[in-house]
Amino acid sequence: MREKVAYSRRDHHAVIQMDAPVGPRSLRRRPRKPVKQQQTAEVQEEVRPSILYLPDSLTVAELAAELRVPATAVIKTLMSEGVMAAINNVIDFDVAKKVAAQFEVTVERSTPTEKERVQRIGVEAADKTDNLATRPPVVTILGHVDHGKTTLLDAIRQTRVVETEAGGITQHIGAYQVEKDGRKITFLDTPGHEAFTEMRSRGAQVTDIAVLVVAADDGVMPQTVEAINHARAAGVPIVVAINKIDRPGANPDRVKQQLADNDLLAEDWGGDTVMVEVSALKKEGIEDLLEMILLVADIRELKADYNCPASGTVIEAELDKTRGPVATVLVQNGVLRVGDAVVVGVTSGKIRAMFDYRGAALKEAGPSTPVSVLGIEDVPAAGDSVQVVEDEKAARQAAEEKLAGHKTELQKAGRLRLSDLFSKIQEGEVKDLNIVLKADVQGSVEALTSSLEKLSDNKVRVNVIHGAAGAITESDIALAAASDGIIIGFNVRPDPAVRRAAEREGVDIHLYRIIYEAIDDVKKAMAGLLEPTYKEVVLGRAEVRATFKVPGVGTVAGCYVSDGKVVRNASVRVLRDSVVIFEGKLSSLKRFKDDAREVAEGYECGIGIERFNDIKEGDVIEAYQMQEVKV
């Protein structure tokens, strides 16, 4: 007889339901030693549960522990189901259910955890529309590095903040408020669109309006276009501040034409983009800019619930030597008060003190108000959510559950991959394929953008959310991660730091040298025909520090291996300013005068490349191999 055991993953208590009473009489007549063995065998069988309550995802090791079977048995079962997973890999509920069925165990979803209950508080609060009231707009200033973002922020501070505050700002907390005609505007003082997008990639949408600063004498620059695309990807309306109109070479009409080329058409040209001419240095046009920000805010009808449990987002945080963890929080719903118990990301606490941007103590703060708070147990990350709960015990429990699941969530492949596109479309999970496109020249960008976007059909829309000439950067990774998109590179390469960022964020990068191959791969992925058979493994990179002409051999590059290793007979590509100029094979690899099988990082070597002699100092040689992927 086998007992039925209902086992809950949350409380780790087994509830035993007996089908029939177990009598001791049959056991008494058996010899002592066999009885002990029989009992042991029965106990081992009885320990395995008949019902498991599992969460939406868990690791292979965790599932094995719940099933009371070796992890190797779970891995073998997964392989039989066509799933290749290691002991620390994450599997979802449906896969876990199939595996458990092989061990004759029924699986049901666990009841909501404290973490999920806290998340539901925020969702329910956001769904209520009865208590909504107008709130101040939250503004982020974006633009090219030299176009006067900081000067504009300073001008707004000085013209609007100092009027109500003698002595100026005493405390910088990454955000501040100004007043215009009795109405408040919140400005986020972020380092640029990278930080703006990084927060969005963590699920934080804090900005209502983006002010794009463009210098009247310089015009639209590559970083300006990047900022436009980041704001568009976030769905944030753009107000353009044409700065430096006091400069001799200022030409606002030329700037408007360049912006029109990027689909931002000024209102006075018949478009719908608000553009204001300002001089941050001379503090001209600042009042007009603030007025336009309020006008856009009125059109958007920004509202918040003032009566629900407070929630918000961490803008920045630090560990203060005297005060401990300090977080700048933007309140987004409800009223945050001193004494509130809060869950902040994977930590928690009770608000001991709260200050505004001037350093003045506050007892409470409403929606769109930036505050500096004390009382959080650990330093949170920018973009972490803040949610008020009933007491510290509930806050601590929710934070512990989030922390426990944090590693699992990181391991789970949450980002879209081109090879998974068709299945995601069929399941209704994907309606947009967002692409960040980088190429060697602008002509290639335009040709690829046009061809890729024409692939859109009634099931999925292909969007090139950012396209530019140049190397793939960490900013591109952040944008793709925030938009759940992929990156396509044409004749360009990511450097090692960018590759690591892509791996960390789970962003899929596809590199091509022929345009139709890129288009064909996306088309096949949409149709479910893409079966990647090979993947590229970068072995190492070597910097060319000198070149030598060798009679009968050609040009040999004197190199320093800066990353990984260079292996004899490997495939190589030559990069000049991150653009691929040649691909081929190594013809020779030497250490001093001796042939070498491989040269490791930190060593110098001589490299010859088959049928290529146009090598120059400063070039980078990237060695790689193609490995077969078992589908």
pLDDT tens per residue, range 181-198: 889 999 987 655 555 565
Q: CB–CB of 412/90 below 8 Å?
A: yes
For 43-52, 221-230, 365-374, 401-410, which range has the lowest pLDDT when averaged over its residues? 401-410
Average pLDDT over residues 326-337: 93
The residue type at 451? S
At 197 the pLDDT is 62
> Would 311-404 and 536-628 be classified into the same CATH topology?
yes
Q: Is the pLDDT of residue 24 over 60?
A: no
Q: Is the pLDDT of residue 2 over 50?
A: no
Helices (H), 103-221: 114-127, 149-156, 193-201
183-188 and 138-143 beta bridge pairing = parallel
The residue type at 392? E
Average pLDDT over residues 41-46: 39
- 394 vs 494: CA distance, rounded Å: 45
- Which of 9, 25, 113, 19 has the alpha carbon at shortest distance from 64? 9
Q: In this predicted model, which residue has the larger pLDDT, 402 or 345?
A: 345
For 149-163, 545-559, 586-600, which range has the lowest pLDDT when averaged over its residues? 149-163
Q: In this predicted model, which residue has the larger pLDDT, 253 or 8?
A: 253
Q: In this predicted model, which residue has the larger pLDDT, 1 or 324?
A: 324
- 208 vs 136: CA distance, rounded Å: 10
* Fold of the 311-404 domain: Elongation Factor Tu (Ef-tu); domain 3 (2.40.30)
For 377-386, 405-414, 472-481, 585-594, which range has the lowest pLDDT when averaged over its residues? 405-414
Which tens digits make up the pLDDT trace of 194-239?
A: 555 656 555 557 889 999 999 999 999 988 888 898 888 888 899 9
At 89 the pLDDT is 74
Q: Is the pLDDT of residue 167 over 50?
A: no
Q: In this predicted model, which residue has the larger pLDDT, 400 or 271?
A: 271
- 478 vs 462: CA distance, rounded Å: 19
Greatest mean pLDDT among 33-37, 372-376, 439-443 lies in 372-376
Average pLDDT over residues 19-38: 40
pLDDT class of 608 with cuts at 50, 70, 90: very high
Residues forming beta bridges with residue 605, ordered by sequence position: 559
At 8 the pLDDT is 40
For 43-57, 147-161, 263-277, which range has the lowest pLDDT when averaged over its residues? 43-57
Average pLDDT over residues 68-75: 85
What are the sequence ranges of the domains in the chain? 4-109, 136-301, 311-404, 418-532, 536-628
Q: In this predicted model, which residue has the larger pLDDT, 304 or 470?
A: 304
Average pLDDT over residues 597-618: 93
pLDDT class of 334 with cuts at 50, 70, 90: very high
Q: Is the pLDDT of residue 626 over 90?
A: no
pLDDT class of 589 with cuts at 50, 70, 90: very high
Average pLDDT over residues 286-297: 95
- Which of 244, 367, 355 has the alpha carbon at shortest distance from 297? 367
At 562 the pLDDT is 94
pLDDT class of 251 with cuts at 50, 70, 90: very high
- Which of 237, 246, 232 has the alpha carbon at shortest distance from 277? 246
Q: Is the pLDDT of residue 448 over 50?
A: yes
At 54 the pLDDT is 82
DSSP state of 163: G
Average pLDDT over residues 252-263: 94
Instruction: Tell me the CATH number for domain 536-628.
Output: 2.40.30.10
Instruction: Tell me the CATH number for domain 136-301.
Output: 3.40.50.300
Q: Is the pLDDT of residue 327 over 80?
A: yes
pLDDT class of 376 with cuts at 50, 70, 90: very high
pLDDT class of 528 with cuts at 50, 70, 90: low
pLDDT class of 436 with cuts at 50, 70, 90: very high
Average pLDDT over residues 573-577: 92
Average pLDDT over residues 552-576: 91
Q: Is the pLDDT of residue 623 over 60?
A: yes
- Which of 542, 532, 484, 483 has the alpha carbon at shortest distance from 511? 532
Q: In this predicted model, which residue has the larger pLDDT, 36 or 302?
A: 302
Residues 362, 363, 368: CA angle, nearest 5 degrees: 70
At 350 the pLDDT is 94
Q: CB–CB of 107/97 below 8 Å?
A: yes
- State the chain's mean pLDDT as an integer: 79
Q: Is the pLDDT of residue 13 over 60?
A: no
Q: Is the pLDDT of residue 630 over 50?
A: no
* Fold of the 418-532 domain: Rossmann fold (3.40.50)
Q: CB–CB of 190/118 below 8 Å?
A: no
Quick count: other Cβ atoms within 10 Å of Cβ 353? Answer: 15
Average pLDDT over residues 604-613: 92
For 122-131, 176-185, 318-327, which range has the lowest pLDDT when averaged over its residues? 122-131
For 96-110, 323-337, 573-587, which range has the lowest pLDDT when averaged over its residues? 96-110
Q: Is the pLDDT of residue 428 over 70?
A: no
Q: Is the pLDDT of residue 424 over 50?
A: yes
At 422 the pLDDT is 65
Question: Residue 264 half-sphere exposure, CB side, CA atoms within 13 Å?
Answer: 27
Quick count: other Cβ atoms within 10 Å of Cβ 618? Answer: 10
For 50-59, 130-139, 620-629, which range has the lowest pLDDT when averaged over its residues? 50-59
At 40 the pLDDT is 38
pLDDT class of 432 with cuts at 50, 70, 90: confident
Average pLDDT over residues 343-347: 86
